[in-house]
Amino acid sequence: MSDPVTELVKTHLKQLRLPAMARELERLSREAAASDMNYGQFLLRLAEAELAARATNALESRIKNAAFPVVKDFDTFDFAAMPTLSKPKILELALCEWIDQKFNCCFIGNTGTGKTHLATGLGLAACRRGLRVRFFTAAALVSKLEQAQKQYTLDKFLGQLDRAELLICDELGYVSFSRNGVELLFRLLTDRYERSSVLITSNLAFGDWAQVFQGERMTAALLDRMTHRCHIIEMNGESYRFRESMKAKKGRKAE
């Protein structure tokens, strides 16, 4: 139990909503007493502790709000396994300047090549830069849009999406949508044009997007906007998952 003054300061700090300062008070007081820290330096350290805790909490809540399916970062991505992919290009995208410039990004390629992994890595990079991110599969996004429309909350949902500086729409092309669903998605994506960024991953080459967007006219209009200011990353190669499981099988046979 510390002295009554320290306890009172802690209570006041908590009341002032400075919990990290309250938490660190005793440790830093001891450190200050043991070293030749002056009052100013002591207060500075204490304030820094609060700022650091706030930054960590804010990042955690941005990552939580983004709703990534799995939190995967670049540290677990093996660039050597995808030699056609430019690592410098991905690391440049991770600086998020494209999001500041309201550019889009498309990862196009067959399944298992790491599109979702990289989209998540870029999403995390954006969260770390203090940007708001929302991650959806295309199917979930369309279903949420349709549900919101039915419940007369579409404007509210669109407003929430609008606040995200980066919208990630994963797996476009795996599932086809109703006419209404397509129109809602089209509206959402075209509304963001030059205002905020979209990252799309798809197994379909642009030429096949008409399969999703039912009809050439809507597809052409969407592609025109989506790809105007866009980084396009082709991810064609052998599936990483498939290769890993083949390796594991070979390993088991060799045993």
Contacting residues toward Mg ion, per CB under 5 A: 116
CB 90 within 8 A of CB 74: yes
Please choose which of ligand ADP, Mg ion, none residue 15 contacts, taking the beta carbon within 5 to 8 angstroms, the exact cut-off set by kind: none
- In 3D space, the residue among 99, 104, 98, 94 whose CA is nearest the CA of residue 125 turns out to be 94
Least distance CB 124 / Mg ion (angstroms): 16
**Torsions phi, psi of 170, nearest 5?**
-95, 150
Contacts of 226 (CB under 8 A, 6+ apart): 104, 106, 189, 193, 198, 200
Contact positions with ligand ADP (CB under 6 A) in 182-241: 201, 240-241
Which residue number is nearest to Mg ion in terms of Cβ?
A: 116
Please choose which of ligand ADP, Mg ion, none residue 18 contacts, taking the beta carbon within 5 to 8 angstroms, the exact cut-off set by kind: none
Question: What's the rounded Cα separation, in Å, for the pair 201 and 198?
Answer: 10
DSSP conformation class of 234: E
Please choose which of ligand ADP, Mg ion, none residue 240 contacts, taking the beta carbon within 5 to 8 angstroms, the exact cut-off set by kind: ligand ADP
Quick one: which segment of 114-122, 131-139, 160-168, 191-199 binds ligand ADP (CB under 6 A)?
114-122
Can residue 121 be called a binding residue for ligand ADP (CB under 6 A)? no
Quick one: which segment of 14-22, 113-121, 130-138, 222-230 binds ligand ADP (CB under 6 A)?
113-121
- Of 19 and 237, nearer to Mg ion (C-beta) is 237
CB 119 within 8 A of CB 197: no
Q: Work out which of 3, 31, 78, 191 binds ligand ADP, going by CB under 6 A.
A: 78
- Of 113 and 219, nearer to ligand ADP (C-beta) is 113
Q: Work out which of 21, 93, 99, 114 binds ligand ADP, going by CB under 6 A.
A: 114
Give the H/E segment covering residue 205: none
Rounded (10°) angle between helices 154-162 and 138-150: 140
Tokens representing residue 157 in the block: 């949902």
- Of 28 and 119, nearer to ligand ADP (C-beta) is 119
Least distance CB 23 / Mg ion (angstroms): 40
CB 170 within 8 A of CB 137: yes
